[in-house]
């Protein structure tokens, strides 16, 4: 649910989430915010102040969101939720507006259940994990585990709480085939230093035939040892075969690379030689073309000059012939005119 409060017109107002509920260590994913709503032409310089936030949570004025997660030590173990009231005040120097947001933080812790009675036999390989549950899925520890009065042959990991090892064959005798241990388990939260302690029973029991079980175990060990040795020999042979094949493959690949490099070198050399021969042929062809073109041009000019001289001579001859014919015709006309005049006179 959103709430908003308005200031006078032409100023600003706040829109915010009034309440948020979270566990310790649980991040805020845009769950809580305070938004400033301004008028369209508002140009004031706003300042923000924040008080009362839970440890681990902060406010980002640039986005208006609360970010972070409440620290795991902010709520006492196995207690009710703790409420924080955070107040955000926004001011433009003249007017101010405040928003109050309630953060309800629940305890985020682990719960240790009392394990059921553990029953083991001599020679048995043990792997035991303590039954833990958590109030919130994001609980990340770290936790420290300690055991007291574990059966002989067993050890534990102090950071995971797992118990491991093998029960000795001589821990229980045939005439006393049950032995009980009262084990104490203590788990400590290394952040809050809260702890829980439980006690449970660990029983070691056997039947009246431990020697038979021991011989069976020995036979199993001999069989397993033989199987392991055979597997190891097979693995060694397999590894040697793989190494040999890999060496041959590497050698063949190296030869392939060398051949490829030689082929590339020969190819590039052939390309260079072909380019040189091509350039030489082009140059020779260009030279022959230029020489032929010069010779043809020279021959053409000579032929054109001969044609021109023949043309000029023909024109001159035709002109002289026409001129002579004109002179002859003129003289003939003149002669006829003279003769006509003489006859008249």
Residues 100 and 25 in one domain: yes
Domain count along the chain: 2
Token code pair at residue 22: 């979270």
In-domain check, residue 59 = yes
Q: How confident is the model over 193-247, as pLDDT tens digits?
A: 888 999 999 999 876 555 455 556 767 788 888 788 878 888 887 888 788 878 8
Q: How far apart are CA 182 and CA 188, in angstroms?
A: 20
The domain that contains 102 carries what CATH number?
2.60.40.10
In-domain check, residue 313 = no
DSSP conformation class of 279: H
Q: How confident is the model over 106-127, as pLDDT tens digits?
A: 988 888 999 999 999 988 999 9
Residues 165 and 135 in one domain: yes
Task: Give the confidence band of 5 by pLDDT, cuts at 50, 70, 90.
Answer: very low
Token code pair at residue 243: 């190494």
Of 37, 32, 29, 28, residue with least CA distance to 7: 37
> DSSP 3-state assignment of 56?
coil
Residues 142 and 74 in one domain: no
Q: Which residue segment(s) compose the domain that 28 sits in?
A: 3-106
In-domain check, residue 262 = no
Q: Which residue has the higher pLDDT, 174 or 342?
A: 342
Q: Among 3-17, 244-258, 295-309, 313-327, whose mean pLDDT is lowest?
A: 3-17
pLDDT of residue 38: 83
Within its chain, how far is the Cα of 234 from the centroid? 40
In-domain check, residue 221 = no
Task: Pinpoint the alpha helices (H) of the chain.
Answer: 210-344
pLDDT of residue 1: 41
pLDDT of residue 244: 80
Q: How confident is the model over 154-169, as pLDDT tens digits?
A: 999 999 999 999 999 8
Q: How far apart are CA 22 and CA 28, in angstroms?
A: 8
């Amino acid at each position: 649910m959103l709430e908003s409060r308005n200031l006078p017109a032409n100023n600003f107002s706040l829109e915010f989430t009034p309440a948020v509920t979270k566990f310790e260590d649980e991040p805020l994913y845009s769950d809580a915010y305070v938004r400033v709503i301004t008028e369209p032409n508002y140009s004031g310089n706003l300042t923000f102040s924040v008080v009362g936030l839970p440890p681990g949570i902060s406010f980002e004025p640039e986005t208006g969101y609360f970010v972070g997660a409440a620290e795991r030590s902010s709520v006492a173990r196995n207690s009710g939720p703790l409420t924080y009231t955070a107040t955000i005040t926004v001011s433009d120097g003249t007017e101010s507006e405040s928003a109050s947001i309630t953060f309800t933080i629940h305890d985020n812790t682990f719960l240790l259940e009392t394990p059921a009675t553990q029953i083991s036999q001599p020679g048995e390989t043990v792997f035991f994990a303590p039954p833990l549950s958590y109030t919130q899925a994001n609980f990340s520890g770290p936790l420290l585990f300690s055991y007291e009065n574990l059966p002989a042959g067993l050890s534990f990991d102090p950071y995971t709480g797992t118990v491991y090892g093998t029960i000795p064959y001589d821990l229980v005798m045939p005439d006393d085939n049950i032995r009980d241990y009262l084990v104490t388990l203590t788990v400590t939260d290394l952040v809050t230093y809260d702890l829980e302690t439980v006690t449970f029973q660990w029983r070691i029991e056997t039947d009246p035939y431990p020697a038979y079980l021991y011989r069976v175990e020995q036979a199993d060990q001999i069989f397993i040892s033989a199987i392991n040795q055979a597997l190891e020999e097979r693995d060694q042979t397999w590894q040697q075969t793989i190494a040999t094949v890999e060496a041959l493959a590497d050698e063949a690949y190296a030869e392939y690379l060398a051949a490829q490099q030689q082929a590339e070198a020969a190819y590039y050399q052939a390309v260079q030689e072909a380019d040189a021969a091509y350039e030489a042929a082009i140059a020779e062809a260009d030279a022959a073309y230029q020489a032929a073109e010069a010779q043809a041009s020279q021959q053409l000019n000579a032929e054109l000059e001969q044609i021109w001289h023949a043309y000029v001579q023909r024109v001159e001859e035709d002109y002289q012939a026409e001129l002579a014919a004109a002179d002859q015709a003129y003289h003939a006309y003149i002669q006829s005119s003279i003769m006509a005049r003489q006859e008249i006179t």
